Amino acid sequence: MSPEEMRTCARRVVELLVEREETLRDGPPWDGEFQQGLAEQFHKAPPEEGRNAAEVIEQAAREILPFAARLDHPRFFGFVPVSPTWPSVLADFMSAAWTVNQCTWLTASGPSQIELTVIDWIRQWLGCPDGAGGLFVSGASDAAVHALVAAREAAGAPAGPTVYMSDQTHSSIARAALTVGVRPEHVRSLPSDSEYRLDLALLARRVAADRAAGLAPIAVCANAGTASTGTVDPLAELADYCAAEGIWLHVDAAYGGFAAVTEIGRRKLAGIGRADSISIDAHKWFFQPYEAGCLLVKDVQTLERPFTLRHDVIQDTIWGSNHPNVADRGVQLSRAARSLKLWMSVQTFGMAAFRRSILRGFELARHAEEQVRSNPMLELLHPASLSIVCFRVNPGGLDEDALETLNKNVLAKVFWDGHSFISSTTLRRTFALRLCIVNRATTSTDVSETLDQVVRFGRDWVQDYERGKVRASEASASSP
C-alpha cells in the first residue's frame, strides 16, 4: 500500500469508530443474524484478485461487525461486559502495526518492561507480596490453566490430584482442572453456604476424606466475585486454611479483581493478596479490549519452573536473570503486547479516573438494588454485590413454575425490544434476572429505564396470564 492509501484507510476506520461511539447509546445493545443468511453472504472462496481497500473496510463495518453484541453499550448489562477506552484500543492497533512479539527480552525489551511494570501495578492493587509476578494471557480461563499447572507442579505432580471449588465457581475452573489432568470425578464442586460462599467446614471435611482415600488435593479455587452474584468467598480464612494444609490457593478474580483499586473493593476482597495465584481480567472491569487476562503468582518461579524449556532456535534470546523472557512463564511463545493498552490508558486518564469509573459500578448496582426493593412488582434475589444485582418479577400469588415462565418471557421481551440487554442466572434452582454494571458511560437513568421496562413487560404478561385463566385457549396461544 502506498503511504497515502494507508493514511486514507486508517482515517476512514477512525471516522467509523468515532461515529459508532457517538451513536452507540441511541441504537440497540445487540444485533445478530441467523447462520444461513450470513453463510450465503460470506462463505465464499478467498478472491484471487483483491479489491478496493475502502470497500472492504466499509463492508466489515456495515455487514459484519454490527452483527454482534455491543458489549460496550451503556445499557448492556448481560454476562460480564466491557467498555474499552479509546487509548487502549489505539494501543492494540499500535502494537499490532509495530509487529511486537512479546515473547523475549531480545524481541521486545520495551514492551517486556511495560508488562513487568503493569503486572507490578496489579500486584500492588491486589496487595500481593514483593516478588509476586506473572504475565498477561488471553483471559481468566487461560490464566486458570497456567495456575493449576503451577499448583500441580508445586505439589510434586502427585497421582490422584483433586481440586476444590464451590458450586458457584465459573466453569472455566473445572475446565482448567481437566486440562491439567485432574479426572472429572476428582473435580470437587462443593455446595455453597447460604450466602453462596465456599463453605470452609465442608471443604475441610472433603479434603480430609480425600486424603484418607489416598487422593492428593492440589488446589482450592476461590472466587473474588462470582459471575452469577458477585459473591466473594472468605478469602482470608481460605488463605489460613490452605497455608495450614499446604494446599495451593487460586483466586478467580476475573470479574471482581479490579474492584481492589477502590477502598470499598479492597475491603470486600480482603485477603486476596495471600493467594498463591490470582486470575484477573482487564477486559471486564478495567475497560480494556479483549484479550487482557492476567495471571499473578506469589512466586514467579512456580511458573518458570514448569514452563521454561530451551529451544535451540531461540537460544540467542537469553539475556540473564534481570531480563525475563515472559514466554518462559506460560504456554504461548509468539505473544501480542497485551499490557501496553492498560499502560497507555492509565497514563492517559490517571488512576483517579479509573477509580471513579469502578466506583460507579458499585453505586449503580446499589441504585438498582434500591429500585428493586422499592417496587412491589420486583423481588430481590441477591443484593448488590460488587456490581451485580439479581432479581425477578414477582407480583405475588404465582407458583414457582408460573414465575419462571413469567421471567423467561420478560427476558425474551427485553431482548427483542432492543433497548437494554440483560441476562439471567439460576440461584438454587430459581430463575433470576441479573444486571452486571461495569460500563463507564452507564447512567442511573439507564439502570432505571431498564428496570422500568422489566416491570412493564412483567405487568403485560401477568395481564395476559390472568385473562388466560378465564380463557385457557388464549393463554396457551400467547405462551412463548
Ligand X SMILES: *Cc1c(COP(=O)(O)O)cnc(C)c1O
Nearest residue (beta carbon) to ligand X: 139
The least distance separating ligand X from the CB of residue 253, rounded to whole angstroms, comes to: 8
Overall residue count recorded for the chain in this entry? 480
The least distance separating ligand X from the CB of residue 293, rounded to whole angstroms, comes to: 5
The least distance separating ligand X from the CB of residue 68, rounded to whole angstroms, comes to: 16
The least distance separating ligand X from the CB of residue 182, rounded to whole angstroms, comes to: 17
Whose Cβ is closer to ligand X: residue 250's or residue 453's? 250
The footprint of ligand X on residues 49-78 (CB under 6 A) is none
Q: By CB under 6 A, which span of 63-71, 158-166, 251-259, 472-480 interacts with ligand X?
A: 251-259
**Binding of ligand X by 170 (CB under 6 A):** yes
Secondary structure (H, E, C), the chain: CCHHHHHHHHHHHHHHHHHHHHHHHHCCCECCCCHHHHHHHHCCCCCCCCCCHHHHHHHHHHHHCCCCECCCCCCECCCCCCCCCHHHHHHHHHHHHCCCCCCCCCCCHHHHHHHHHHHHHHHHHHCCCCCCEEEEECCHHHHHHHHHHHHHHHCCCCCCEEEEEECCCCHHHHHHHHHCCCCHHHEEEECCCCCCCCCHHHHHHHHHHHHHCCCEEEEEEEEECCCCCCCECCHHHHHHHHHHHCCEEEEEECCCHHHHHCHHHHHHCCCHHHCCEEEEEHHHHCCCCCCCEEEEECCCHHHHHHHCCCCHHHHHHCCCCCCCCHHHHCCCCCCCCCHHHHHHHHHHHCHHHHHHHHHHHHHHHHHHHHHHHHCCCEEEEEEEECCEEEEEECCCCCCHHHHHHHHHHHHHHHHHHCCCECEEEEECCEEEEEEECCCCCCCHHHHHHHHHHHHHHHHHHHHHHHHHHHCHHHHHHHCC
Q: By CB under 6 A, which span of 17-25, 127-135, 250-258, 378-386 interacts with ligand X?
A: 250-258
The footprint of ligand X on residues 223-242 (CB under 6 A) is 226-227
Question: Residue 26 and residue 250: Cα distance in Å, rounded?
Answer: 41
The footprint of ligand X on residues 121-160 (CB under 6 A) is 139-141
The least distance separating ligand X from the CB of residue 235, rounded to whole angstroms, comes to: 14
**Binding of ligand X by 254 (CB under 6 A):** yes
The least distance separating ligand X from the CB of residue 254, rounded to whole angstroms, comes to: 3
The footprint of ligand X on residues 77-96 (CB under 6 A) is 80
**Binding of ligand X by 369 (CB under 6 A):** no
The least distance separating ligand X from the CB of residue 173, rounded to whole angstroms, comes to: 7
Whose Cβ is closer to ligand X: residue 139's or residue 306's? 139
Question: Residue 269 and residue 284: Cα distance in Å, rounded?
Answer: 17
Whose Cβ is closer to ligand X: residue 278's or residue 344's? 278
Residues that contact ligand X, how many (by CB under 6 A) = 13
The least distance separating ligand X from the CB of residue 224, rounded to whole angstroms, comes to: 8
**Binding of ligand X by 192 (CB under 6 A):** no
The least distance separating ligand X from the CB of residue 255, rounded to whole angstroms, comes to: 4
Contact 23, 441 (CB under 8 A): no
Which of 115, 281, 369, 446 is the binder for ligand X (CB under 6 A)? 281
**Binding of ligand X by 282 (CB under 6 A):** no
Whose Cβ is closer to ligand X: residue 199's or residue 281's? 281
For 36, half-sphere exposure in the C-beta direction (CA atoms, 13 angstrom radius) is 0
Q: By CB under 6 A, which span of 24-32, 252-260, 349-357, 378-386 interacts with ligand X?
A: 252-260
Q: By CB under 6 A, which span of 247-255, 269-277, 328-336, 349-357 interacts with ligand X?
A: 247-255
The least distance separating ligand X from the CB of residue 430, rounded to whole angstroms, comes to: 20
Whose Cβ is closer to ligand X: residue 252's or residue 328's? 252
> Rule CB under 6 A: which residues touch ligand X?
80, 139-141, 170, 172, 226-227, 252, 254-255, 281, 293
